[in-house]
Chain A
């Protein structure tokens, strides 16, 4: 069966990629903005999926890292630095801060860790708001330029959408490589059974810090794209509710699944737009849809798929076992 499924998967993947490149060519300004936002939020959610979904470390601070990346990019590009340089700085900065935020995780876990990261999220928000010499305070930073690549300006929505999509592609490849490497296996071991992981030589301290740092760095990349996307930033979008939104994307999509953040971000960013025709009710419908989904499948959308496939495999396996058993009995 898997021999058949693999080409099918590749074909489907290619179709989606081509679709993401071709179809938006006819989109209007707003449609392209929403789709670019989806790409940016997917990157941030992939980071959180690494920290939470794979390595099992709860974080309510991913939105703060998007903010750190956004401010780094906004400050640098408005002072004449090119965006790629600003994104490199955003990565280094959020990696370093994420590493430090990982230290509490070496002592506290689960709800307690959630509260530590929540406090950090608030702290970051206060820095964005109060340190106006650097961040512009409540007035924010406006006129954030969009980059030129190889002499091509990305001021218009379509070229900048391709910048976001291209970045998403690069990040996806990197994350895919990471999770199928021994590191991915070590992260999972950290989540499933830290005690056993240690006894197998897995340095759980270093992997915990790495999980936080890398996940946060992806948040920083997302921020570095968010600033030129909106071209204006202030502290409000990076408050706790962004962290909660990102957490919801990871959970709804399916924590610990590679494709989870893509689906989760799609639901969080696009579903409210699709529900707009219901006017005043759209947020309520959206909330109800998310609740129903999580009641039906606590492991998210991809959890449903995973369960169906596991059930099918078990059926196949028990059928094989039954055949083997009946053969044994005939031999006897």
Chain B
């Protein structure tokens, strides 16, 4: 299986503090990789370094074998890398449908063609499909800010898929989502993974969610990779148990 994403020796220092210390891993085409670790272990910082939100202090990120280190987030998104954030990041005043159109529009044509072209950038159908897929039909015209937290979380995830990404990095998609909606979310993620052959990296604290969703799990502690393997292997790893129970 080929690697979609190869991360080699990524480091990030904030002043004297090393948030990410020499992390290397790869993400295989079509897999769902879980990323777990105690709070402050550098998971989100690692995401931000991969996605160009932060410039790494050292190391290299390759997408499909090409070096993409230092590219801006928008450029990476155009190359098919999408993400969600730990905190909700929908546009509260826009309707659910408009949020989704916004999330996909930059992948349609050029900047000039979007100025003279259709107001929806030809995405109304695609947005409606996504709305149906995430079972938000009855809320399509509602301002996103009026949705419940769980529904906004679904919309947030749906937005990450509008550009038809190859690789999606999800930062705590399950945080604050109630159990019934959580199984919905998991089911949707698995379906997109299978149908659209999208590759995922998922940061999550909900162990049950990670262990049942992911094919491999990477454990981080204090900015380093502690363990990497199948969920059942990782769960039995003494170092992992130590890191979680020790803190």
Contact = CB atoms under 8 A, between A and B. Distances in A.
Interface string A268-286: 0000000000000000000
Contact of B106 (A180, A186, A193, A314): A186
Interface size range of chain B in the complex: 35 or more
Interface size range of chain A in the complex: 20 to 34
Interface string B82-114: 110100010111100010011101111001001
A135 to B, nearest CB: 34
Interface string A162-193: 00000000000000001011110110110011
Interface in B184-229: none
B146 interface: yes
Given A192-B93, A198-B73, A199-B73, A183 B115 contact: yes
A27 to B, nearest CB: 38
Nearest to A256: B93
Contacts of A185: 94, 98, 101-102, 105
A131 interface: no
A129 to B, nearest CB: 37
Nearest to A196: B89
B74 A204 contact: yes
Contacts of A314: 146
A211 to B, nearest CB: 13
Contacts of B111: 183, 203, 206
Contacts of A202: 74, 106
B119 interface: yes
Nearest to A198: B73
B51 A192 contact: no
Nearest to A179: B119
B56 interface: no
Interface in B147-185: 159, 162-163
A198 B72 contact: yes
B91 A188 contact: yes
B110 to A, nearest CB: 11
A5 to B, nearest CB: 15
18 contacts: A182-B106, A182-B114, A182-B119, A183-B111, A185-B94, A185-B98, A192-B92, A193-B91, A195-B89, A196-B89, A198-B53, A199-B51, A199-B83, A200-B162, A201-B107, A202-B74, A204-B74, A205-B72
Interface of A: 178, 180-183, 185-186, 188-189, 192-193, 195-196, 198-206, 314, 317
Given A198-B73, A204-B74, 10 more contacts: A182-B101, A182-B115, A182-B121, A183-B111, A195-B53, A198-B72, A199-B53, A199-B82, A200-B82, A317-B146
